[in-house]
Amino acid sequence: MLGGLGTSGLALAALLLAPFTRRVLRAAAGRERSRLGIVDLPPVPGDRRELGWAALHATAGLVVGLVGLSLPVYAVQYCTFPLWYRLLDPSMGGPGFVTWGIDGLADAFGVFLIGVLFAVAAFALLPGIAELQAFPGRRLLAPAADADLSLRVAELTATRAAALDAHATELRRIERSLHDGTQNRLVALNVLIGAARRAQERNPAAVADILNRAQDATEQALAELRAVVRSILPPVLDDRGLAGALAGLAGACSVPCALEVDLPGRCAASVEATAYFVVAEALTNVVKHSGAGSVAVTARRDGDRLRLRVTDDGRGGADESSGSGLAGIRRRVAAYDGRFAMTSPAGGPTTMDVELPCGS
| Binding residues for another protein (CB under 8 A) | 176, 179-180, 183-185, 187-188, 190-195, 197-199, 203, 206, 210, 213, 216-217, 220
CB of 210 to another protein, least distance (A): 7
CB of 30 to another protein, least distance (A): 50
Closer CB to another protein, 190 or 343, in the complex: 190
CB of 173 to another protein, least distance (A): 13
Closer CB to another protein, 13 or 195, in the complex: 195
CB of 211 to another protein, least distance (A): 12
Closer CB to another protein, 213 or 301, in the complex: 213
CB of 324 to another protein, least distance (A): 15
Closer CB to another protein, 131 or 180, in the complex: 180
Closer CB to another protein, 169 or 183, in the complex: 183
In SS3 terms, the chain reads as CHHHHHHHHHHHHHHHHCCCCHHHHHHHHHHHHHHHCCCCCCCCCCCCHHHHHHHHHHHHHHHHHHHHHHHHHHHHHHHCHHHHHHHCCHHHCCCCCCCCCCCCHHHHHHHHHHHHHHHHHHHHHHHHHHHHHHHHHHHHCCCCHHHHHHHHHHHHHHHHHHHHHHHHHHHHHHHHHHHHHHHHHHHHHHHHHHHHHHHHHHCHHHHHHHHHHHHHHHHHHHHHHHHHHHHHCCHHHHHHHHHHHHHHHHHHCCCCEEEEEECCCCCCHHHHHHHHHHHHHHHHHHHHHHCCCCEEEEEEEECCEEEEEEEECCCCCCCHHHCCCHHHHHHHHHHCCCEEEEECCCCCCEEEEEEEECCC
